[in-house]
């Protein structure tokens, strides 16, 4: 199955190592289309590849449309992640958000209050294996 992982890039990359751990975990269940989100140098690499913001948008939207499931780390506020979640809701793709309660910012009511989005609070990625396995199995049979 194809998994779209969403995490903050321009909104702040302080959680990038955590994203890499989550992507590694998700790779056990399927193909993560957006592995670059777990790389600190993602922006430089996109610039070096000559990608404009329009190219990035089109590539990410194509992956979002292709994905069987969306997993987002939402502890860092991010316009891009929020935008992807809004588009994914309209596409009807199963969505699971991961949030660390000790984060600086409270989670948006638009995410926590959305019936089409599951939210799990956690401290360490190691706690998430069972939750993600259950979510992805349900998404695969949806």
Q: Using CB under 8 A, which of the segments 16-24, 28-36, 48-56, 134-142 binds a second copy?
A: 48-56
Task: Give, for 95, the enclosing helix (H) or strand (E).
Answer: strand 95-99
State yes or no: residue 53 binds a second copy (CB under 8 A): yes
In the region spanning residues 60 to 79, those forming contacts with a second copy, defined by CB under 8 A, are: 60, 74, 76-79
Identify which range of 10-18, 22-30, 125-133, 134-142 contacts a second copy by CB under 8 A: 10-18
Integer Cα distance of 30 and 41 in angstroms:
24
Q: By CB under 8 A, tell whether 58 contacts a second copy.
A: yes
Q: Which of 87, 140, 76 is CA-nearest to residue 117?
A: 87
| CA R_g for the chain | 14
Residues interacting with a second copy, by CB under 8 A? 8-12, 46, 52-58, 60, 74, 76-90, 105-115
């Amino acid at each position: 199955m194809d998994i779209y992982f969403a995490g903050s890039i321009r909104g702040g990359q302080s959680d990038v190592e955590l994203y890499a751990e989550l992507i590694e975990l998700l790779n056990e269940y399927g193909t993560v289309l957006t592995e670059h989100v777990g790389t600190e140098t993602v922006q430089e690499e996109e610039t070096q590849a000559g990608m404009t913001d329009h190219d990035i948008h089109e590539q990410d939207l194509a992956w979002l449309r292709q994905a069987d499931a969306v997993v987002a780390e939402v502890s860092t506020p991010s316009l891009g992640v929020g935008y992807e979640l809004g588009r994914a809701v309209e596409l009807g793709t199963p969505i699971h958000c991961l949030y660390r309660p000790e984060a600086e910012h409270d989670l948006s009511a638009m995410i926590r209050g959305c019936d089409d989005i599951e939210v799990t609070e956690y401290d360490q990625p190691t706690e998430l294996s069972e939750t993600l396995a259950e979510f992805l199995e349900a998404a695969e049979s949806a």
